[in-house]
Structure 1
Amino acid sequence: MEFQEAFRVADAAVVAKTEKHLTDVEFAILEGAWQGLSYEDIAQTKNYSLNYIRGDVGNKLWKKLSDALGEEVGKKNFRMALERRSHSSLPSGNYQQPSGIEQELPYRPLPLGSKLYIPRPPVEESCDREVLKPGSLVRIKAPWKMGKTSLLKRILANAEQQSYKTVNFSLRQLETAVFTDLDKFLRQFCANIAVNLQLQPELDEYWDEALFGSMTSCTNYIQGYLLANIDSPLVLGLDEVERLFEYPEIAIDFFALLRRWHEEANNLSIWQKLRLVVVHSTEPYVKLNNNQSPFNVGLPVKLLELSLEQMQILARHHELNWLDNSSAERLRAMVGGHPYLVQLAIYSLRRGELKLDKLLEEAPTQAGIYNDHLRGMLALLQEKPKLADAFVKLMKNDGSVSLEPQLSYQLESLGLIQIEGNKAKLLCQLYQLYFREYFQV
Structure 2
Amino acid sequence: MSITFPAGVIPLNSPFYIEKTTIEKEILTEIQKPGALVRIRAPREMGKSSVLLRMIHEAHSLDYRTVSLDLKQASQSSFNNIDKFLHWFCVNVALGLGLEPRLEGYWDENIGCKVSSTLYFENYLLRSIDSPLVLALDDLNLIFDYSEVVKDFFTLLCSWHEKSRVLPMWQNLRLLLVYSTEIDVPLEIYQSLFHLGFVAHLDSFTLEEVMELVKLYELNFISEKDTKLLMDMTGGHPALVHLAIYYLSQEKLTLMELLDNAPTSTGIYGSHLYRYQMKLQLEPELATALKTVINSTEPVLLNPILANKLNNMGLIKLNQNKAVISCQLYQDYFQQTL
- TM-score of the pair, normalised by structure 2: 0.89
- Residue of structure 1 in register with 2:130 after alignment: 231
Note the alpha carbon deviations across 1:73-120, whole angstroms, 9 max, x for none: xxxxxxxxxxxxxxxxxxxxxxxxxx42x12x3221100032211112
C-alpha distance in structure 1 between counterparts of 2:312 and 2:88, whole Å: 26
Aligned-residue offset at 1:175: 3.3
Cα deviation, residue 293, structure 1: 3.4
1:164-313 equivalence runs, <5 A: 164-209=64-109, 211-282=110-181, 285-288=185-188, 293-313=192-212
Higher alpha-carbon deviation: 380-389 or 223-232: 380-389
Show the 5 A alignment for 1:121-132.
121-132=21-32
Distance 1:385 1:226 in 2: 48
Report deviation, 1:333. Answer: 1.0
Q: TM-score, structure 1 length as denominator?
A: 0.70
**Unpaired segments of 5 or more residues in structure 2?**
none
> Which residue does the alignment assign to 2:55?
155
Cα root mean square deviation, aligned: 2.5
1:142 Cα deviation (Å)? Answer: 1.2
For 1:129 and 1:240, the matched residues in 2 are separated by 23
Q: CA deviation at 1:424?
A: 4.6
| Alpha-carbon distance in structure 1 between the residues aligned to 2:101 and 2:60 | 22
Higher RCO structure (Cα 8 Å, ≥6 apart): 2
Distance 2:286 2:168 in 1: 46
User: What per-residue deviation string (whole Å, max 9, x for no partner) do you get for residues 228-249 of structure 1?
Assistant: 2222211011112223333333
Q: Deviations for 1:198-256, whole angstroms, at most 9, x for unmatched residues? A: 222222221123x2122212211222222122222110111122233333333232222
2:99 and 2:267 mapped to 1: Cα distance? 48
Shift in CA distance, 284/194, structure 1 to aligned 2, threshold 3 Å: farther
Partner of 1:402: 302
Question: In structure 2, how many angstroms separate the alpha carbons of the residues matched to 1:423 and 1:184?
Answer: 44
Q: Does 1:120 align with 2:20?
A: yes
Q: For the Cα contact (< 8 Å) 1:285–1:409, is it kept in 2?
A: no
SS at match of 1:297: coil
What are the residue-to-residue correspondences of 1:306-325 with 2, within 5 Å? 306-321=205-220, 324-325=223-224
Cα 1:381–1:202, aligned 2, differ >3 Å: closer, same or farther?
A: farther
Question: Conserved in 2, the CA contact under 8 Å of 1:312 and 1:322?
Answer: no
What aligned pairs does 1:416-427 form with structure 2 within 5 A after superposition? 416-420=315-319, 422-427=321-326
Change (3 A) 1:186 1:426: farther
Contact 2:214 2:222 in 1 (8 A): no
Q: 1:126–1:135: structure 2 CA closer, same or farther, 3 Å change rule? A: same
Aligned partners of 2:302 and 2:322 also within 8 Å: yes
Q: Secondary structure at the match of 1:275?
A: strand
- How far did residue 388 of structure 1 move? 4.3
Contact kept, 8 Å, 2:67 with 2:93, in 1: the verdict is yes
> Could you report, residue by residue, the CA deviation over 1:106-135 in whole angstroms, capped at 9, with x for unpaired residues?
221100032211112211112112212221
Secondary structure, in 3 states, of the residue corresponding to 1:145?
A: coil
CA distance in 2 between counterparts of 1:144 and 1:289 reads 20
Contact 1:408 1:424 (C-alpha < 8 Å) held by counterparts: yes
The residue type equivalent to 1:128 in the other structure is L
Letter in 1 for 2:85: F
Determine the structure 1 residue equivalent to 2:232.
333
Amino acid at match of 2:62: Q
Q: Which amino acid aligns with 1:154?
A: R
User: Of residues 344, 360, 363 in structure 1, which corresponds to 2:243?
Assistant: 344
Sort the Cα spacing of 1:254 and 1:410 in 2 relative to 1 into closer, same or farther, 3 A.
farther
AA of the residue aligned to 2:249? R
Cα deviation 1:129-177 (Å, max 9, x = unaligned): 2212221121112111111100000000011112211111122332344
The ranges of structure 1 where at least 4 consecutive aligned residues each deviate by more than 6 angstroms after the TM superposition are none
For the residue of structure 1 that corresponds to 2:21, the secondary structure is: coil
Given residue 91 of structure 2, which amino acid in structure 1 is its aligned partner? A
CA contact (8 A) 1:315 1:322 kept: no
